[in-house]
Amino acid sequence: MINKNKKIAVGMSGGVDSTMAAFLLKQKGCDVVGLTMQIWGGKPSGGVKKSGCYGPGEAEDIAAATEACKRIGIPHHIIDLKKEYQENVISYFRDEYKKGKTPNPCVVCNSKIKFNLLLEKAFKSGIDFDYFATGHYARVSFDKTSGTYLLKRGLDRNKDQSYFLYKLKQSQLEKIIFPLGGMKKVDVKDLARKNGFADYAEKEESQNFVECDDYFSLLPQGKPGQIVDYKGNVLGEHDGIERYTVGQRRNLKVGGLKEPYYVLKIDSRRNTIIIGPKEFAYSDKAEIKDINWIIHPEKNKIKVKVRYGASLAACSFSATRAKQVLLKFDKPQFAITPGQSAVFYDGEVVLGGGIIA
């Protein structure tokens, strides 16, 4: 896919992965330019506790991206997307939690911001490029038989990020390059150390959404309500449904139980948290909405991840309406969580995915 006569923009975060993606493309003789999103609109703060995508530490990340581009020898542009990020990611995040659901902001950021509005705004500002590359651990290939671009899992299974990219369209995949998709993280760090980027190899990874211990600072004050067991008995009081997710065991603030209880359901209409024993948190069915098929499966047996850290689970599916399917799992799955993404796989290939309804 890499044509040296084409110009490639690389999404630069200031971390080792995006830095090495740009470095590799430059080493291959490509015409490379760096793009960095500016999404934090708040004030500087000294209370940063974790490395994350959204927070006051963004200024430091932008400086690291600028320095990386300088060392590689490529131009660097900062694209202001603060307004767009608030409208598309933060608003969605807040609205979903109000409904008692558990959203995945990274999926929305990738589909609406990073692989969409970032590129649109870069073009409008006069930055010209033919392809867009990132440091994601995923792969893209072209299937000549079907004439379709395929999204595939990254070679490094411990770092595979294909789960977060299932909403990408054919028009996007056609112009995307993932230079690290066929590499392992340990080799990427070794590459950085050997080529003058040891400081980037040792940086803390940005694996969190926000730069703090929790996300509550982004949410309005919750309304207190009841915590009940699966039989309807009142066991305690919560301080806002936004602070709970299906499958949660800790911080339920309910004592005197003979065994650990888990969140089974969040009823936003009644402002109630329903809890019960772990066996009640398993289900063999899930309704999935807002389906995006990258490539439609030829049969109704697929494998699915119901959350990023979950193992692939075998299931069958049947369409219930437009862009909506019902999954039936071969084995019951723990804590299938409304608002999270279910991503479908056939071996290495990402078939598509949707939102757990």
- From 104, 147, 140, 143, select the one nearest 343 (Cα to Cα): 104
At 142, phi and psi to the nearest 5? -110, 125
Distance CA 71, CA 200 (A): 12
| Count of CA atoms in the C-beta half-sphere (13 A) of 218 | 25
- From 154, 104, 170, select the one nearest 349 (Cα to Cα): 154
Which strand (E) or helix (H) includes residue 58? helix 58-72
Token pair 């080792």 is found at 16
Query: What is the rounded (10 degree) CA torsion for 10, 53, 93, 108?
Result: 20
- What SS3 class is residue 292? strand
**CA dihedral sign of residues 335, 336, 340, 343:** positive
Q: Answer whether 343's CB lies under 8 Å from 310's CB.
A: no
Q: Answer whether 294's CB lies under 8 Å from 352's CB.
A: yes
Distance CA 246, CA 11 (A): 34
Angle of the 58-72 helix axis to the 16-27 helix axis, nearest 10: 20
What would the two tokens of residue 259 be? 């065994």
What would the two tokens of residue 169 be? 């369209």
Distance CA 292, CA 306 (A): 15
What would the two tokens of residue 103 be? 């959203």
* CA 294 to chain CA centroid, nearest Å: 17
Indicate which residues carry an active-site annotation: 109, 212
Q: Answer whether 102's CB lies under 8 Å from 96's CB.
A: yes
